[in-house]
Amino acid sequence: MFSRRSEPPKEGLTQVDAGTSGIQGEGNMNGFRIFSYFGRANYTLMSKYLFEANVRADASSRFSKANRWGVFPGFSAGWRLSEEDFIKNVSAISNLKLRASWGQLGNQNISGYWPYLTVIGQNNNLSYSYNGSFSPGAAVTALVDENITWETSSSLDIGLEVGVLDDRITLEADYFRKTTKDILVQLPIPSVMGGISSPFENVGQMENNGIEFILNYNNLKFGRDQLGFNMGFNLTYIQNEVTKFRGGDSPDQLYLLREGYSFRTLYGYKAIGIYQSDDEALEHMHANPFTPKAGNLKYEDLNNDGRLNYEDKMALGNTLPKYTFGISPSFKYKGFDLNLLFQGILGVNMYTQNNFTDLDWENRMISTRWRDAWSPENPDAENPSLKFNNPWDSHQSSYWVNEVNFIKLKNVQLGYSFPTPMVEKLGLQKIYLYVNGQNIFSIASDGYEGYDPERNTFNAGYRVYPTPRILSAGINLNF
């Protein structure tokens, strides 16, 4: 909401109501509604065999009446092997469980509130004036697909839980296979549609295959004077592939959706160097309408036709991380405790073309890497020559792509609990002092430019609000 009035009758009156002229206001409310049924049944047989079935039915106001409902069942079964006699006798094994599940879930969480409804926009931009008078106008500015419905993902998960030495060491290992179909996406549409925004459509199918490990070690020392130690480690590996997509016919775009490729694979020209001379550029791009010059990026001419166009674009790397991991050690001794949480990602590609990395941007404050720009005196430079208004080097290409691995100290806390007798003397149950830090540091691969590497990999890092580093200290008193 926005409201404004001006000219309060007396100086110092600062509330909107006090204004006497220029009354303006704007604002509106949007919303969507979801209506659901949910049911679940659990059944355990002899503490060994576990079964569960559930079903949910959801309806969303984001879809038209005929396409509103989605029904999503789920089943799971578990076998506690450690309850079986033949395992019970093995003293080292404290827990052993096999489990399997299959279930479906729906997704309707897309931008916009009535994505199936043709909206006739009405605003100043769609209006005109005749002979000096304003005349409001309206137009359709977005296409819709009235038949869109739930995106559905089916997950199959087979897992093993092991605990040994009284659960000092526990391991969970899972294999999963998740198939998502009727993916809700907006695809680029030809401009002969008038440049209006493209509809959400249910297109395509993709698969995530992966494994996940969670390993934990605890030395089971809980006494105040004992050194307690816990170490957690988790690792997930995911292989993603778009398995079906409009029969292979898919538009070229930077974040590509195409059969056989990972979801939103980066797609563009491959930068293979920098032209060292005008002649080299002319020879390489001899049939191109625009001839690059010495100092410009050299892109691979895939079809060797001496020109650069969409046929020379290729996959430049996955934007979904292959590996994500976490490490969480913690220590306890004589009332002190220290907890750390490291998180990281391996094998992801980030496209970083924004107002700090690219010269060709309105906001011309640029990063220091441009100190190493090509010039005849600096022919081995990493970066093309410095120039503004340089669309050639700004093409979507691998020059802007980095393969990034990073590890980050996400959280650290050091605390101290005062001894119980002393606390009780004060009539309290607990006194705990702590200092805590979040987002302390990250170590990222060379070449990554930008703020925190823990960021959305589906955009160019433009207008990213950096993650703050938060340091806090506190005291907990329990009465």
Question: Do residues 199 and 220 make contact, with C-beta atoms less than 8 angstroms apart?
Answer: no
**Contact between 14 and another protein (CB under 8 A)?**
no
Q: 186 or 236: whose CB is closer to another protein? A: 186
Give DSSP secondary structure letters for 200-229.
Answer: EEE--EEEEEEEEEEEEEE----STTS-EE
**Contact between 451 and another protein (CB under 8 A)?**
no
**Contact between 21 and another protein (CB under 8 A)?**
no
Contacts to another protein from residues 184-203, by CB under 8 A? 188-196, 198-199
Looking at residue 468, the DSSP 8-state letter turns out to be P
Question: Do residues 204 and 246 make contact, with C-beta atoms less than 8 angstroms apart?
Answer: yes
**Contact between 75 and another protein (CB under 8 A)?**
no
**Contact between 92 and another protein (CB under 8 A)?**
no
Q: How far is the CB of 19 from another protein (least distance, A)?
A: 17
**Contact between 309 and another protein (CB under 8 A)?**
yes
**Contact between 49 and another protein (CB under 8 A)?**
no
SS3 call for 14: coil
Contacts to another protein from residues 392-431, by CB under 8 A? 392, 395
Q: 196 or 440: whose CB is closer to another protein? A: 196
Q: Which two tokens stand for residue 403?
A: 């393969």
**Contact between 472 and another protein (CB under 8 A)?**
no
Opening angle at CA 341, ends 336 and 170, nearest 5: 90
**Contact between 30 and another protein (CB under 8 A)?**
yes
Question: Which residues, in sequence order, are bridge partners of residue 324?
Answer: 236, 345
Q: How far is the CB of 405 from another protein (least distance, A)?
A: 32
Applying CB under 8 A, which part among 77-85, 98-106, 113-121, 314-322 lies near another protein? 113-121
**Contact between 130 and another protein (CB under 8 A)?**
yes
Applying CB under 8 A, which part among 24-32, 229-237, 316-324, 427-435 lies near another protein? 24-32
- Stretch 267-296: interaction string toward another protein, x if CB under 8 A: ---------------------xxxx-----
**Contact between 127 and another protein (CB under 8 A)?**
yes
How many C-beta neighbours within 10 Å does residue 75 have?
13
Q: What sections of 185-327 are H helices per DSSP? A: 278-284
Single out the residue of 282, 298, 294, 285 nearest to residue 377, CA to CA. Answer: 294
Applying CB under 8 A, which part among 9-17, 60-68, 103-111, 451-459 lies near another protein? 60-68
Q: According to CB under 8 A, which one of 68, 264, 270, 284 is a site residue for another protein?
A: 68
Q: 43 or 451: whose CB is closer to another protein? A: 43
Q: According to CB under 8 A, which one of 25, 121, 306, 376 is a site residue for another protein?
A: 121
In the block, which residue shows the tokens 């996406």?
Answer: 185
Single out the residue of 184, 112, 115 nearest to residue 153, CA to CA. Answer: 184
Question: Do residues 196 and 142 make contact, with C-beta atoms less than 8 angstroms apart?
Answer: yes
Size of the residue set binding another protein (CB under 8 A)? 78
Q: Which two tokens stand for residue 148?
A: 């869109």
Q: According to CB under 8 A, which one of 67, 69, 155, 370 is a site residue for another protein?
A: 69
Residues 314, 6: Cα–Cα separation, whole Å: 57
Residues sharing a CB contact under 8 Å with residue 15, sequence separation 6 or more, in sequence order? none
Q: 16 or 117: whose CB is closer to another protein? A: 117
Q: 58 or 207: whose CB is closer to another protein? A: 58
Contacts to another protein from residues 202-261, by CB under 8 A? 249, 251-252
Q: Which two tokens stand for residue 339?
A: 């907890």
Q: 114 or 255: whose CB is closer to another protein? A: 114
| 3-state SS string for 239-260 | EEEEEECHHHCCCCCCEECCCC
Single out the residue of 76, 71, 79 nearest to residue 35, CA to CA. Answer: 71
Give DSSP secondary structure letters for 153-171.
Answer: EEEEEEEEEEEETTTTEEE
**Contact between 310 and another protein (CB under 8 A)?**
yes
Question: Do residues 335 and 419 make contact, with C-beta atoms less than 8 angstroms apart?
Answer: yes
Applying CB under 8 A, which part among 58-66, 84-92, 148-156, 409-417 lies near another protein? 58-66
